[in-house]
């Protein structure tokens, strides 16, 4: 008898034995486990957990407040799987003085969207009327223009959540903005929009008409349900690939105009002032970026030498992620990571690479290249573009937006991981 047949017979015998143990084990488990109790009647006014699902109490991942008085709640990217951010973990940013709750509890039955200005037919839409138009569902990231900025004495933010948590990715459902603008009719010379929110500060931004007619969405859905109040319920403007400050939440008004309006946010908060005294006024698109989420500071430490899978997220406002490279020696050499499907335009892309850790101190980093060939810069390259030394970003009080240098993580011999951006 050949050794292959003998091995197969042994395998079948062991399989039959395991099957018998499984049957007996199942019966034993049933006899030893607690009996199911008949659910009690839920008192009026109390929440029935069966009607709106809740995650297991063993799952501890939560958002994080950036700091007292700061208008940010940060996404725990170190705990993420896949590319979609759950609605209750999506980052929050607000110009309102109370960013952790929506400015008002907006009744969707009463909410209105006004389209006016340089149009043939000024229009007012209810939410029901908007939902009668053809809809689209697309997965896109939204990233705050201030994500990863090292200024304002925050250059030493340590964890991946603190460094990168002002960004998330979701499936947005709504009406293409182009459909509504065509319904109103654009007059000759119309070239910009001014969009406005319903919060207390009436947050407003200018938007070129080309982008509005290309892929902007009047979104009322997020990941298969209505948008959460903190993120714009009942209506949010989604401007794929552009800085998050232009994705107006609680959208109530769109004015069609012939020039940008230099709104309060655009003129006094958003511009990046360079050392030559000039500012970047309309720096819309978010550049190619990536971050390793494991191993990463704030995540699980490494538990001894051996095999690990390095994983993370990459994205670009310029379209598809074409390549992600990983270095395990501080940038001396690079290897191509695997891109996990789906790879979508202007969305998170999950990447990974097998790695054997020998227990020595290492520096891990990743860099992204998008479909247009734009490459995520190192800190030295980003500093050169600004005409400064890297230490400038540690000391300046200037708000440097669109900060997208490669993020290094240092792995100590004990398996703990630290932010190594300034090493």
d(CA 47, CA 87): 19
Residue 31 maps to a domain? no
Regarding whether 329 and 241 lie in a shared domain, the answer is no
Percent of the chain with pLDDT over 70: 83
pLDDT of residue 104: 62
Collapse the DSSP code of 216 into the 3-class scheme (helix H, G, I; strand E, B; otherwise coil) and give the result.
coil
Closest residue by Cα to residue 133 from 86, 202, 184: 184
Q: DSSP E strands: which ranges in 278-378?
A: 279-280, 289-294, 306-315, 321-327, 335-336, 338-339, 349-357, 362-370
Q: Once rounded to an integer, what is the mean pLDDT over residues 313-322? A: 98
Q: Which of 204, 236, 271 is the last residue of a domain?
A: 271
Least confident of 93-97, 102-106, 120-124, 279-283: 93-97
Domain stop point among 271, 303, 323: 271
Does one domain contain both 263 and 296? Answer: no
User: Is 293:313 a contact under the CB 8 Å cutoff?
Assistant: yes
Residue 271 confidence class, pLDDT cut points 50, 70, 90: confident
- Does a structural domain hold residue 43? no
Could you tell me if 217 and 348 lie in one domain?
Answer: no
Using alpha carbons, list the distances in angstroms from residue 55 to 169, 206, 221, 252: 20, 39, 21, 33
Q: Are 106 and 232 in contact (CB under 8 A)?
A: no
Q: Measure the CA–CA gap between 310 and 205, rounded to whole angstroms.
A: 39
Rg value, the chain, Cα: 25
215 assigned to some structural domain:
yes
Verify cis geometry, omega within 30 degrees of 0, for the bond prior to 253: no
Total Cβ atoms within 10 A of residue 145: 22
Both 140 and 198 in one domain: the answer is yes
The secondary structure of the chain in percent helix, strand, coil, rounded to multiples of 5, reads 20, 30, 50
- Helix residue ranges, H only, 141-261: 160-164, 177-184, 209-214
Quickly state the pLDDT bin for 267 (edges 50, 70, 90).
confident
pLDDT at 128: 98
Asked whether residue 77 falls in the same domain as residue 207, the answer is yes
Task: Give the per-residue pLDDT at 29.
Answer: 35
Residues 9-64: tens digit of each pLDDT: 443 444 443 333 333 333 333 333 334 344 445 556 567 778 888 888 998 898 98
Question: Is the pLDDT assigned to residue 223 strictly greater than 60?
Answer: yes
The answer to the question of residue 22 being in a domain is: no
pLDDT score at 189: 97
| Averaged pLDDT score across all residues of the chain | 85
Domain with 259, as residue range(s), is 64-271
List the beta strands (DSSP E) in 53-99.
64-65, 72-74, 92-93
Residue 149 near residue 66 (C-beta atoms within 8 A): no
Number of compact structural domains in the chain: 2
Residue 159, domain member (yes or no): yes
Task: Establish if 361 belongs to a structural domain.
Answer: yes
Q: Is the domain of 174 the same as that of 242?
A: yes
Task: Give 364-375 pLDDT, tens digit per residue.
Answer: 999 999 999 999
Pick from 271, 304, 333: which residue ends a domain? Answer: 271
- What's the token pair of residue 371? 């479909």
Give the closest residue to 243 by CA, choosing from 122, 117, 145, 373.
Answer: 145
CATH of the domain at 411: 2.60.40.650
- CATH no. for residue 70? 3.90.420.10
φ, ψ for residue 119, nearest 5 deg: -130, 160
331 and 190 share one domain: no
- Are residues 263 and 303 both part of a single domain? no
Structure tokens at 21: 């143990």
| pLDDT for residue 19 | 36
Backbone angles phi, psi at 104, to 5 degrees: -150, 160
Per the listing, tokens 């891109």 go with: 339
Q: Give the whole-angstrom CA distance, residue 1 versus residue 196.
A: 81
- pLDDT reported for residue 200: 79
In a shared domain, residues 305 and 388: yes
CA distance 227 to 217: 13
User: CB–CB of 180/218 below 8 Å?
Assistant: yes
Q: Is the pLDDT of residue 279 over 80?
A: no
Contact 301, 294 (CB under 8 A): no
Provide mean pLDDT across the span 184-204. Answer: 93
Q: Where are the beta strands (DSSP E) in 180-300?
A: 192-197, 204-208, 217-222, 225-226, 236-238, 251-257, 272-273, 279-280, 289-294
pLDDT in tens, 98-142: 544 565 679 999 999 999 999 999 999 999 999 999 999 999 999
Q: Does one domain contain both 313 and 186?
A: no
Looking at the fold, whether 99 and 230 belong to one and the same domain comes out as: yes
**Looking at 36-40, 376-380, 399-403, which range is the least confident one?**
36-40
Asked if omega into 234 is within 30° of 0 (cis), the reply is: yes
Angle at 205 between CA 201 and CA 208, to 5 degrees: 165
**Are 216 and 334 within one domain?**
no
pLDDT of residue 392: 86
In this structure, the strands spanning 72-74 and 279-280 are unpaired
Measure the CA–CA gap between 267 and 194, rounded to whole angstroms. 14
Q: Which of 1-15, 61-75, 199-213 has the lowest mean pLDDT?
A: 1-15
Kindly state whether residue 266 falls inside one of the protein's structural domains. yes
Mean pLDDT value of segment 380-396: 88
pLDDT of residue 156: 60
| Residue 319 pLDDT class (50, 70, 90 cuts) | very high
**What is the pLDDT, as a whole number, of residue 155?**
55
pLDDT, greater one: 105 or 334: 334
Whether residue 313 is contained in a domain is answered as yes
Has this prediction a pTM greater than 0.95?
Answer: no
Q: How confident is the model at residue 327 (pLDDT cuts 50, 70, 90)?
A: very high
| Banded pLDDT at 70 (limits 50, 70, 90) | low
pLDDT bin (cut points 50, 70, 90) of residue 169 is very high
């Amino acid at each position: 008898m050949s050794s292959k047949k003998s091995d197969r017979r042994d395998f079948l015998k062991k399989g039959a034995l395991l099957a018998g143990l499984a049957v007996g084990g199942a019966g034993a488990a049933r006899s030893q486990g607690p009996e199911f109790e008949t659910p009690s009647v839920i008192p009026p006014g109390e929440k029935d957990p069966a009607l709106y699902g809740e995650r297991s109490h063993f799952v501890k991942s939560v958002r994080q407040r950036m700091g007292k008085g700061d208008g940010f709640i940060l996404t725990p990217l170190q705990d993420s799987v896949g590319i979609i951010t759950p609605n209750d973990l999506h980052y929050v940013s607000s110009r309102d003085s109370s960013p952790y709750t929506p400015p008002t509890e907006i009744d969707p039955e009463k909410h209105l969207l006004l389209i006016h200005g340089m149009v043939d037919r000024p229009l007012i839409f209810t939410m029901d009327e908007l939902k009668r138009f053809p809809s689209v569902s697309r997965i896109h990231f939204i990233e705050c223009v201030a994500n990863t900025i090292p200024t304002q004495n925050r250059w030493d933010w340590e964890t991946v959540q603190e460094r990168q948590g002002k960004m998330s990715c979701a499936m947005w459902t709504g009406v293409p903005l182009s459909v509504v603008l065509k319904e109103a009719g654009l007059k000759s010379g119309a070239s910009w929009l001014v969009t406005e929110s319903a919060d207390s500060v009436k947050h407003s931004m200018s938007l070129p008409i080309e982008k509005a007619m290309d892929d902007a969405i009047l979104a009322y859905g997020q990941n298969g349900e209505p948008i959460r109040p903190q993120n714009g319920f009942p209506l949010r403007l989604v401007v794929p690939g552009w800085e998050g400050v232009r994705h107006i939440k609680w959208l109530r008004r769109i004015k069609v105009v012939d020039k940008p309006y230099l709104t309060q946010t655009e003129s006094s908060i958003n511009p990046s002032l360079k050392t030559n005294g000039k500012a970047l006024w309309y720096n819309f698109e978010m550049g190619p970026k990536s971050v390793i989420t494991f191993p990463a500071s704030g995540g699980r430490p490494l538990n001894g030498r051996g095999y690990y899978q390095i994983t993370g997220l990459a994205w670009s406002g310029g379209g598809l992620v074409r390549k992600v490279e990983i270095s395990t020696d501080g940038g001396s050499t690079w290897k191509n990571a695997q891109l996990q499907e789906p790879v979508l335009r202007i969305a998170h892309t999950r990447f990974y690479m097998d790695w054997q850790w020998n227990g020595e101190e290492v520096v891990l980093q990743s860099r992204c290249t998008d479909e247009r060939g734009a490459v995520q810069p190192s800190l030295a390259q980003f500093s050169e573009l600004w005409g400064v030394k890297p230490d400038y970003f540690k000391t300046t009080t200037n708000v440097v937006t669109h900060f997208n240098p490669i993020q290094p993580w240092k792995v100590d011999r004990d398996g703990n991981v630290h932010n190594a951006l300034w090493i």
